[in-house]
Structure formats: C-alpha cells, structure tokens
Structure 1
C-alpha cells in the first residue's frame, strides 16, 4: 500500500487502478459501521437465544413498526408510535434477514459513513428509517402489519451512495469512492451508471411488490419502505454531505 494518509485523494493516472486492485484489503470497514453491525447482531442474538417467546413478542409489539398505531380506532394506544418508526430498524425477522441487510450495508454503508461520519450517519439512519415507513404507511394505512429490519435504511444508503460513487471524475474503489464529487440530482439522473443502477433497483422492488420475486413470500417484504428509504437518501443526501 502507498504511504498516503487516511483521507488523501487517490493517486492519479494509470496507477489508480493498480492501487485500488492491489493495495485495498478485502475487509476495511469503518469502525462506526462495524459497531452498528455488532449492535444489530447482539440484539438479534439476545432475542433469539435469551428472551422467552412471550417477552420477545412483547418487545416486537412495542418496538416494531405497525401502521395500525396511527389509526386510533384500531389499536390500544401507547407511546410506541413515537419511537417505533426508528426502533423497528434495529430488529430483524431472522438471521437470514439480518445477514442480507448486513451484506448490503457493508457495500453501501461503508462509503457513506466514510464521507459523512458517524454523527451525521446516526441522524441519516433515523430519518431514512422514518421516511421508509412513512411511504409504507401511505400504502398500508391502518393495517396490523409488523415491519422490522434495516432494509429501508439500507435502501437510503444505496440512494445516498448513488450520488457520489458513480461520479465520472472519481473512482468506484472501496477505499476512495467517498472522495468523489457529489453529483447534483440533475447530474445523477443524467449519469448512465446511476440510471442503470437505480432502474434495476426499482424494477426489482416493483417485481417483488407484484409477487414475481417471492423471497420468503412477497407479502413479508415491505418493498414500499425500500422505495421510501431510497428516495430519501437519493434526494436529500446533500443535507448531510458537507464535502461538496
């Protein structure tokens, strides 16, 4: 690896590709992201192996997101409507669910957290989680449907990353992608790589909604929340990004 300090721009010219291929370690995650992943694993492990079923069901009822909370005629009210639009994102339905979200969080969360830092990421996490279930609720108002998982936040990270990892003047390298110039919304929508990436992503989610892809049952996937999170990250990432 070169002797460049952390945060230094990548080398220019033909050396960039060689540096990105040769010197990048296979696993080089920001400490903040490692901490988030560990936190999610600890929560799910405690629920799976330590909590009795009755207590876990109570935890889910109080901390998962339910659209019915916002129709006062359908459910006994508690203050859970205040925190559940965020706390649901720390709960997962299975190890497979957690691993799947963790995989994509590593891929897209790493460059975002390197770019905006852990403090702004914490705010981004909360607001993208809220945006995700807000759109979900618009489609499922009053329904007693339990929503858990960080998928909406992961979608937000994907939308945010799309604003800079595909910058034509930068690199997609894991190590240096966070140093790219952030594209304006107009530039991003004119960028072929962004359009292809977003198009495939939206198509996949629409097909899930139509039941074409039934990963464990399409009804168990809050695909509307994915879209809400992605739109939040893509459209509003500039509010969190001070680099440009």
Structure 2
C-alpha cells in the first residue's frame, strides 16, 4: 500500500509525494493503550470470578454517589476513579465501539502530541468527562465505565486541526496541519458540520432514541464533557503552535 509523505508545508497543509505505508499504521503509544484495554477486559471476562470482578468495579469504576460521602470517611478510591473508570468496559461491543473511534480520531492526536502528553490528556479528559456527568447525576448509584469520554476528547481535539483552513480534511498527515484558532474553528464549515452532527447524535442518545456500543445506558453528558475539554483546551497539549 502506498502512503503520502510530506514535502513542504503550505498554509498549514502538506504537499505530498508517494511512498510505502505499512498495512497496520498506528502510533505505538495508541497501540499500547488499545492492547491494554483489551487485556483488562479479557482478564475481567475470562479469568476473574464474578465476586472479584465486582470488587474491581467497586474500586475502579466511577460512582457519583461516592462524592456525597465526606471524603474523610472513606478510602482514597474517590481520588483515582475519575480516571480508572475509563479503562473498564461493560461488554466487548462497548470496547470495540470505543476502539473504532479511538483509531479514527485518537491516532492523529497521538501522532501530534506524543506519548507523554497523551497520558496527561487521557487522565484530564477522563476526569472532565465525569465532572460534567456528575453535575447531572449527583448522588446516583449507577456506575460509569468506558473510554467514551476520552474518545470524545480526541474528537474535540482533532476538530482543531484535522480540517484544513479551506475546509478539506487531511488524512495521513493531518497531525502536521496548523491548529486552527477558536475563531477559525467556529467559522470553518466542515468543523461546524462535524460538531453539529456530533452534538445532535449525543442529544438523541440523551433522549434514549438509540444506544451505542452495547453499553446499556449511555453517559452522554460525559461525552460532552470530554468533547468540550478536547475542543477548548487542546492548545495546552499541542507542541505545534
């Protein structure tokens, strides 16, 4: 398979020539994350007894009701669950659905920011996602699991640079594009269509018209929290100014 290679950037876009592309071409950091998520779910599904898996959920999934208890009267679980919930999934369908979108939108983000920034982005976008979720579900006992909030963060971040100023979407070398300012982003027709469809989809999910990835009830507010984090704050992580 052939791959385009950059020659000279022009107005934030890349002129390209042709060369060979590997059949499987993901950033190593993202590949590691995907294998890690698969390993965790496989261990929970095939190796852990149900009682032990329930302990995993209790200690690593996000639970809004946990924050109605004075923090001094409980352990430190409240401290890490806003991140660790993103490594757990409710089913193989849920995991595969998230992997699909992570490959599509996470790959250009990871190529652009690198592994170290990826780790920080993952933790903060996961926390931002459940921060908005808990505003709407304060004190509820329903647990939240899944990387959907982080995936939404990738989508929001990608919207800042995968579309060229002319509105076209760059593919193999989207990570080399100039990051659009917020003003440019909000006047880019392609970005507006993309974000409009994204928000409409999540609004319909919130109305219960359909679910996603076999995950049962969908924490759509967490999706929005993650997306807004990536969209508004991607400049914190972007090494290309």
**Counterparts of 1:17 and 1:118 in 2: how far apart (Å)?**
26
Taking structure 1 as reference, are residues 63 and 193 closer, same or farther at Cα in structure 2, changes over 3 Å only?
Answer: same
**Counterparts of 2:4 and 2:198 in 1: how far apart (Å)?**
37
- 8 Å contact from structure 1 (residues 169, 181) kept in 2: no
Q: Any residues of structure 2 matched to 1:38-53 within 5 Å, and which?
A: 38-53=35-50
Q: In the alignment, which residue of structure 2 is the partner of 1:109?
A: 106
Q: Pick from 24, 44, 58 the counterpart of residue 61 of structure 1.
A: 58
Q: Pick from 75, 86, 89 the counterpart of residue 89 of structure 1.
A: 86
- 8 Å contact from structure 1 (residues 208, 218) kept in 2: no
**Counterparts of 1:9 and 1:153 in 2: how far apart (Å)?**
32
Q: Pick from 144, 148, 156 the counterpart of residue 147 of structure 1.
A: 144
Unaligned runs of 5+ in 2: none
Q: Pick from 133, 137, 140 the counterpart of residue 134 of structure 2.
A: 137
Unaligned runs of 5+ in 1: none
Taking structure 1 as reference, are residues 219 and 95 closer, same or farther at Cα in structure 2, changes over 3 Å only?
Answer: closer
Deviation at 1:89, TM superposition (A): 0.3
Q: TM-score, normalised by structure 2?
A: 0.90
1:162 aligns with 2:159: yes
Provide Cα deviations, 1:81-106, integer angstroms capped at 9, x if missing partner: 00000000000000100000000000
- 8 Å contact from structure 2 (residues 90, 146) kept in 1: yes
Number of aligned positions between the proteins? 235
1:204 aligns with 2:189: no
1:100 aligns with 2:90: no
- 8 Å contact from structure 1 (residues 128, 153) kept in 2: yes
Taking structure 1 as reference, are residues 84 and 124 closer, same or farther at Cα in structure 2, changes over 3 Å only?
Answer: same
Considering fraction of residues, name the structure with more strand. Answer: 2
Q: In the alignment, which residue of structure 2 is the partner of 1:35?
A: 32
Q: In the alignment, which residue of structure 2 is the partner of 1:214?
A: 211
Q: In the alignment, which residue of structure 2 is the partner of 1:239?
A: 236
Q: In the alignment, which residue of structure 2 is the partner of 1:185?
A: 182
Q: TM-score, normalised by structure 1?
A: 0.89
**Counterparts of 1:149 and 1:178 in 2: how far apart (Å)?**
26
User: Secondary structure of 1:220's match?
Assistant: coil
**Counterparts of 2:127 and 2:93 in 1: how far apart (Å)?**
23
